[in-house]
Amino acid sequence: MTQVQRFTINTAGRDFAVGDIHGHFTRLQAALDAAGFNPATDRLFSVGDMVDRGPESTDVDVWLAKPWFFAVQGNHEQMAVDGHRLSHKGQASYLHIINGGAWLYGLSSAEQAFYVDLFAELPIAIEVMTPMGPVGLVHADCPFDDWAQMLGALEREQGSMRRSVQTICQWSRSRITSENATGVRGIRAVIVGHTVVLQPTVLGNVYHIDTGGWMGGHFTLIDLATLECLPSVNPEVRSR
């Protein structure tokens, strides 16, 4: 696994990020169409949790093969890896199953290994250069108040120290539950998902964009250059 994946500036088109997908790729495609996404020039970055809960989890390999689609590893991809590799019939797989991962264990052993190998190679963090400066993505939260410190911990630490940093990146809700608006230094913005919000929520320079497109809400796309969200307002709220 490459802990951090870096991308140079997109000089041909736009870069977007999207929140948790959870097996609803048809809905995601509809959101891309509404935004006028151009696969010839634009790129889409996922904050992870592409699978589980929804009916199209097995389509994740098709999306990961698209030359314009990139993702970090969310806690659901991490649960799939642990469930398959550590204890197929034990506690790790049970945790995955009760969180929507039953689809994986209904596949053949070869198919399970295929998907797990894809998930295991996903980075924990992505950094994208934009005309206005670098933007970072992790699934849930940045464990430090300095982006470079987090990257250093992911790339240089080993063993339990690295794992603890990964766990916070993939599982933490402390920033949003405490409404911590301190922000993260050394990066223009950090884009996260994991915790469902009614509207895109900004705390300091951390943008929470999981607006529940997989569970009756809507998918939010954020333009990484402008940091503008599409749609800008929850359609359900706007229509009231």
Q: Residues 146-165: pLDDT tens digits?
A: 999 999 999 998 889 999 99
Residue 203 lies in a domain: yes
Residue 104 lies in a domain: no
Which letter does DSSP use for residue 212 in this model?
A: B
Residue 94 lies in a domain: no
CB 4 within 8 A of CB 126: yes
Helix (H, G, I), strand (E, B) or coil at 180: coil
pLDDT at 158: 84
How many other C-beta atoms are found inside a 10 Å radius of the C-beta of residue 63? Answer: 18
> pLDDT of 52-84, one tens digit each?
999 999 999 999 999 999 999 999 999 999 999
How many other C-beta atoms are found inside a 10 Å radius of the C-beta of residue 221? Answer: 24
CA distance linking residue 70 with residue 187, whole number of Å: 19
Residue 239 predicted with pLDDT over 60: no
Residue 26 lies in a domain: yes
Residue 113 predicted with pLDDT over 60: yes
Residue 141 lies in a domain: yes
DSSP codes joined into one string, 92-108: HHHHHIIIIIHHHHTS-
Mean pLDDT of 173-181: 96
CA distance linking residue 127 with residue 147, whole number of Å: 10
Give the residue numbers annotated as catalytic, written as ranges.
Answer: 76
CB 139 within 8 A of CB 192: yes
Determine the structural domain holding residue 215 and report its residue range.
4-74+122-238
pLDDT at 92: 83
Q: Determine how β-strand 221-223 pairs with β-strand 15-18.
A: antiparallel
Residue 105 lies in a domain: no
Residue 231 lies in a domain: yes
CATH code for position 148: 3.60.21.10
**Confidence label for 240 from pLDDT (cuts 50, 70 and 90):** very low
Residue 99 lies in a domain: no
pLDDT at 88: 55
Q: How many distinct structural domains can be found in the chain?
A: 1
Q: Determine how β-strand 133-137 pairs with β-strand 189-192.
A: parallel
Write out the two tokens for 117: 């190998």
Instruction: Quote the pTM value.
Output: 0.95
Q: Which residue has the higher pLDDT, 236 or 68?
A: 68
Write out the two tokens for 87: 């204890």
> pLDDT of 188-228, one tens digit each?
999 999 999 999 999 999 999 999 999 989 999 999 999 99
Write out the two tokens for 211: 């607006």
> pLDDT of 117-145, one tens digit each?
999 999 999 999 999 999 999 999 999 99
| Amino acid (1-letter code) at residue 214 | W
H or E segment and range at residue 27: helix 25-34
Helix (H, G, I), strand (E, B) or coil at 127: strand
CA distance linking residue 91 with residue 176, whole number of Å: 28
pLDDT at 135: 99
